[in-house]
Amino acid sequence: MVAALSPPRILPSGDAAITVEFSRTIDAVANRRVLALDRLVAGDALTGVTETVPTYRSLLVHYDPLQIGFEALGDKLTELALRPLPEATATRRWRIPVVYGGENGIDLEDVAKTLNITPDEVVARHVGGDYRVAMIGFTPGWSYLSGLPGSMQISRRQNPRLLTPPGTISIGGIQTGVQCLAGPSGWHLLGRTAVRTYQLHRDPIFLLEPGDAVTFTAVNEKTFTEQDRAAEGGEFVAELMS
């Protein structure tokens, strides 16, 4: 027997968007329901829906109020959200190379001290995780991954850094992230990847999709430098495993 799904909360985000909230916390089932609803909305081509933004716990649905009202769209989204969840479907899995530590991962030593393990063990645990892209947001290509091993969870930094390098791989709370552009971050920086999750004039411009699986693999500084040069020219340095 499949347990009945609870209806999501239909919340107004102004007069032209609805937040369909499945949970208030980071929750694997909620994220699966978000991604399933996202696919249903795309597949049904709902009248008036202009774009969607899946996140850990909710789906933001932008719509045109000239075409459909809040009540009608809310009812339709509730109905779609209560359809049985599809079996976990085959999804793409990416292998993302990371150079850990040193100037590319300035917090690796501190994270090791906090967790009372060696830096090599931090890398081993991070590489050992089985990750999913839970959401992409904040800035272009910034991918939030679920699946960080429980033994790696530490709270965010007290003082967020105003500027962190492009390609930063970091951890914060129960999440790990693949950052594309330079920007502020309150997470702990473990390393860098040459993979560009967002690159203009490349096809596709955005590499990862919400729901994609990700495996990290450790590379040395020399490999990173070579891959970074190749990636700058538009080459993919992330490997599609399945």
Partner 1 sequence: MSKLVIISVSPGTSVQDAGRFGAQRYGLVPSGAVDRLALAAANALVGNALFAATIELGPLSSVVTARGGAVRVALTGATRPADVAGQPMAPNTSVTIADGESLNIGVARSGTFGYLAIEGGVRGELMFGSLAVNARAGLGSPYPRPLQPGDELQVATASSANEKRIDLPAAVEGPIRVVLGPQDDEFDDAKELFLGSEWKISAMSDRMGYRLEGPVIKHLHGHNTVSDGTVNGSIQVPGMGQPIVLMPDRGTTGGYPKIATVISSDLGRFGQTQPGRGFRFKAVTMAEAQAEYRATAELLQSLPGRVHDANILMLDIKALQSANVAGVAVSAMDSWTWQTQLSAEAQD
Which residues in this chain contact partner 1 in the complex, by CB under 8 A? 11-17, 19, 21, 24-26, 50-60, 62, 65-66, 69-70, 135-142, 144, 180-181, 183, 198, 200, 205-206, 210
- Whichever of 51 and 120 has its CB closer to partner 1, that residue is 51
Residues 6+ apart with CB under 8 A from 226: none
Instruction: Give the shortest CB-122-to-partner 1 separation in angstroms.
Output: 24
Instruction: Give the shortest CB-101-to-partner 1 separation in angstroms.
Output: 27
Report the distance separating Cα 95 and Cα 79, nearest Å. 36
CA-wise closest residue to 41 among 24, 58, 23:
58
- Whichever of 62 and 157 has its CB closer to partner 1, that residue is 62
Report the distance separating Cα 113 and Cα 12, nearest Å. 44
- Whichever of 108 and 168 has its CB closer to partner 1, that residue is 168
Instruction: Give the shortest CB-17-to-partner 1 separation in angstroms.
Output: 5
- Whichever of 223 and 236 has its CB closer to partner 1, that residue is 236
Instruction: Give the shortest CB-198-to-partner 1 separation in angstroms.
Output: 7
Residue where the block lists tokens 């560009």: 196
- Contact between 30 and 57 under an 8 Å Cβ cutoff? The reply is yes
Instruction: Give the shortest CB-196-to-partner 1 separation in angstroms.
Output: 12
Neighbours of 19 (CB within 10 A): 18
- Whichever of 24 and 83 has its CB closer to partner 1, that residue is 24
Report the distance separating Cα 101 and Cα 220, nearest Å. 10
Instruction: Give the shortest CB-218-to-partner 1 separation in angstroms.
Output: 26
- Whichever of 148 and 180 has its CB closer to partner 1, that residue is 180
Q: At 148, give phi and psi (nearest 5°).
A: -65, 130
- Whichever of 136 and 148 has its CB closer to partner 1, that residue is 136
